[in-house]
A and B are shown apart, each in its own frame.
Chain A
Amino acid sequence: MSETTATIIFALVVLLGAVSAAAVLTWFERRLLGIWQDRYGPNRLGPLGIFQVLADMLKLLTKHDWVPPFSDRVVFVFAPTALVVAMMMGFAVVPFSETLYIIDIDIGLLFFLGMTSLAVYAVLLGGLASNNKYALLGGLRSAAQMVSYEVFMGLSLMGVVMLTGSFSLQAIVLAQVDGWYCFSQILGLYVFLIAGIAESHRLPFDLPEAEHELTAGFHTEYSGMKFAMFMLGEYLGLILISCMITTLFFGGWLGPDWLPGLFWFSLKTFFFICFFILLRAAIPRPRYDQLMSLGWKVLLPITLLNLVITGALALSLQGAS
């Protein structure tokens, strides 16, 4: 029973930790972008400007909680809520270390894919419920982008599943004791990385929000805390994708014994978060039709090829040994 209690406490720690990490990330990203673009970024409040997070939060909380009278009110409020809930639930299956996880289910990987897919509903419903032309166009684009990249986001992970023989994330981590999958599944990693960015519609793939043509895409009519929840969902998605890349391709919590697994897991995840922010700073946005043809014409064939190659190599190596 005490073990269950400890896990419950850990679940609450994950809950608060994920939200705080996403909040701090808003400041961290702006600081890092500032450094790379040769300017300061937010540096006024507190040491290095870290209290900017609190200031932003207070400001957003005291904004007019406005629901457009021309919108579909219930769906309008539901959409950002669904996004945050779906992204938060994704963290439930992430193995943070050998013993630290909320739940380790046999279908952990499928659960993660399902939760990220739910984000499509949030974006599309947010766009439709706003009853605004910009929001509708942004929501549609976003939905088309996310469903397109979802097809091979799942497929790109099948190489990992084939080699492990399990959907359980803990089993996938343990199978990487002999070697991380980032070498044997380099094509899978490549596709998952790109699909992950497109799925959480971060720059350079933030076409749905394309401010140069659709002002803010699907969240044009959102303001105050509901806008913040869309942003929270996006940053949670970024952290979640980094966690999954670490878990699936870079050995999760595995690392030298002299530090606990949680440390190695956090270090690798932090590295990928920084990598995604660097990507945002370094790469310009593609056109929408380029984005869609990249997905269907390049990444989908690569994914299928990866499955064929992985299957042939794994079976012949198994037969040889």
Chain B
Amino acid sequence: MTGSTTAELIPFIVYFGGVILLVLTMLGLSFVLGQRRTNKATNTPYESGVVAVGTSQIRLSVEFYLIAIIFVIFDLETVFIFAWAIAFFELGWQGYFAILVFIAMLGVALVYAWRCGTLEWGVKTRVGLEAKDN
């Protein structure tokens, strides 16, 4: 609760150092103790026993890109809610109604993404267009 003075930071720094040391020990020990054996197929990528075909730099579904984009938008917006939550009682009703408008806008964005089919996986149809075409 108090401000972080240097003395309070010391245990944290020691802890961080300890964690790094632990991880390095684990990697180092396994490097030293591990057996080394090489068979014909050791250095080939695993693909369920089939010889790997082509590169692994394959084309990706566009869904992952869309999810990444809405994540950036929504995560940025949550930061504003974080800032409101910490001063919630000080801001009172005025702050509450302000954030209500903000959350409503967030909701509109979510509904828009939903209707565009961003949140669907697999075959995409735009909800509005589909009925017109039939």
Whether B127 is near chain A, meaning CB under 8 Å from some CB there, is no
Whether B132 is near chain A, meaning CB under 8 Å from some CB there, is no
* A-B Cβ contacts below 8 A, count: 202
The proximity string for B residues 101-134 relative to A, scoring 1 for CB distances below 8 Å and 0 otherwise, is 0010011001001100001111000000000000
Q: How many residues of B contact A (CB 8 A)?
A: 69
User: Given A103-B8, A289-B122, A315-B93 in contact, is the A68-B75 Cβ separation under 8 Å?
Assistant: no
The proximity string for A residues 53-73 relative to B, scoring 1 for CB distances below 8 Å and 0 otherwise, is 000000011111110111000
User: Given A8-B10, A15-B22 in contact, is the A292-B43 Cβ separation under 8 Å?
Assistant: no
Residues A15 and B26 in contact, CB atoms below 8 Å apart: no
Give Cα A60 to B22, complex, Å. 16
Residues A11 and B103 in contact, CB atoms below 8 Å apart: no
Residues B114 and A297 in contact, CB atoms below 8 Å apart: yes
Give Cα A11 to B1, complex, Å. 18
Give Cα A292 to B10, complex, Å. 42
Residues B45 and A68 in contact, CB atoms below 8 Å apart: yes
Residues A61 and B89 in contact, CB atoms below 8 Å apart: no
The proximity string for B residues 37-76 relative to A, scoring 1 for CB distances below 8 Å and 0 otherwise, is 1000011011110001000101010011001101100110
- CB within 8 Å of A: which B20-45 residues: 20, 22-23, 26-27, 29-31, 33-37, 42-43, 45
Tier of interface size on chain A: 35 or more
User: Given A8-B11, A154-B78 in contact, is the A136-B58 Cβ separation under 8 Å?
Assistant: yes
Give Cα A187 to B114, complex, Å. 23
Q: What are 21 A-B residue pairs whose CB atoms fall within 8 Å in the complex? A: A4-B7, A8-B11, A10-B11, A11-B15, A64-B34, A85-B19, A103-B4, A131-B56, A148-B71, A151-B71, A162-B85, A162-B89, A165-B89, A170-B1, A215-B48, A221-B46, A225-B34, A226-B30, A296-B70, A296-B119, A297-B119
Residues on B lying within 8 angstroms of A by beta carbon are 1-4, 7-12, 14-16, 18-20, 22-23, 26-27, 29-31, 33-37, 42-43, 45-48, 52, 56, 58, 60, 63-64, 67-68, 70-71, 74-75, 78, 81-82, 85-89, 92-93, 96, 99-100, 103, 106-107, 110, 113-114, 119-122
Known contacts A136-B58, A288-B121, A314-B89, then 8 further A-B pairs from the complex at CB < 8 Å, ordered by chain A residue = A11-B18, A63-B34, A63-B35, A132-B52, A150-B75, A162-B85, A171-B1, A289-B121
